Amino acid sequence: MKIGNAEVTRIEEYHGLGFPPQVFLPDWSDAAVEKHLHWMVPGHYSPDDGRLMGSIHSWLIRLPNLTVLVDTCSGNHKNRPDSPFFSMMNSRYIENLAAAGIDPDDVDIVFCTHLHIDHVGWNTRLVDGRWVPTFKNAKYIASRSEFERLVAEEAGLADNQHMIADTIQPIIGSDQWLLVDTPHHICDELYIEESPGHTLRHCHLTLMSGGGKAVFTGDIVHHPIQIHFPSWNSGACAAPDLAAPTRLKVLESLSETGTWLMPVHFAKPFCCRVGKPEDGGFVCVME
């Protein structure tokens, strides 16, 4: 899709059945969701399987003089002992990148909204038994405080130990790791802001170009039903008391401006706008 002077392309790692809703969204209520089933089934919820539908993807932003990749999914061949869904994947992510007309060497910036295993995996790939940067000409941008918290407080978790070793340390070793304080401008059209809750230093990216605007939200919102129920946090949110107000603030801004919402886990059509009906609340407007 075109947003101002930017071309935005989804790069797929996975699209299909996800987690059971009661597990992933602890506030889930069958009664509350019933009136939404007409748009949720089958693309966003499979009642026969008792599972949400979802996606794991990156967003590729091509500006005239800059190519930026937002989040890099789970990666192939990564050992994630605590998360079997994301462990030892064997996807066609690189082939999907090529189908979009991009060689990994073409990417200038990789932006990590946060440092969870399903958002940084393709930072590296396995070559001749070694983990090497997938995007050898790129700077990998992450929040300084997000990284410091990972190393100081969360490195003891098994998945994070593996992630630091196979996905982050090779980038540090190649001098491509760039930690920034927020807010931070990548260029005139792209800026990073903090959006705490899912992790304490989670960030999102805003694109403003040629009159168009989009917000790449990482995990501020995981599933479109959360637009209708913004108080519903995912079970993976580290700070639920911050996650819901952050989500509400972002949805309010999106609804007022007609800005595109670009998450990384929505199933098809993968992005939306946020509407605000006269009777209050928000609605997910898929075009």
Q: What DSSP designation does 183 have? A: S
* Confidence at 279, pLDDT banded by 50, 70, 90: confident
Q: Which residues contact 190 (CB under 8 A, 6 or more apart)?
A: 61, 63, 66, 68, 205, 206, 207
* Confidence at 138, pLDDT banded by 50, 70, 90: very high
pLDDT of residue 157: 87
Task: Count other Cβ atoms within 10 Å, centred on residue 105.
Answer: 10
Average pLDDT over residues 185-200: 97
Domain boundaries, the chain: 2-285
Side-chain half-sphere exposure of 110, counting CA atoms within 13 A: 31
Q: Which of 81-85, 135-139, 221-225, 277-281 has the lowest mean pLDDT?
A: 277-281
pLDDT of residue 156: 78
Which two structure tokens, joined as six digits, stand for 23?
């597990």
pLDDT of residue 280: 84
**pLDDT tens-digit profile of 214-226?**
999 999 999 999 9
pLDDT of residue 215: 98
Whether the pLDDT of residue 234 is over 80: the answer is: yes
Whether the pLDDT of residue 154 is over 90: the answer is: no
Cα distances from 150 to residues 7, 161, 185, 200, in angstroms, run: 33, 10, 23, 10
Token pair 């997000």 is found at 146
CATH of domain 2-285: 3.60.15.10
**pLDDT tens-digit profile of 22-58?**
999 999 999 999 999 999 999 999 999 999 999 999 9
pLDDT of residue 268: 97
Task: Count other Cβ atoms within 10 Å, centred on residue 233.
Answer: 23
pLDDT of residue 3: 96
- pTM (predicted TM-score): 0.96
What is the dihedral sign for C-alpha 270, 243, 47, 56? Answer: positive
* Confidence at 228, pLDDT banded by 50, 70, 90: very high
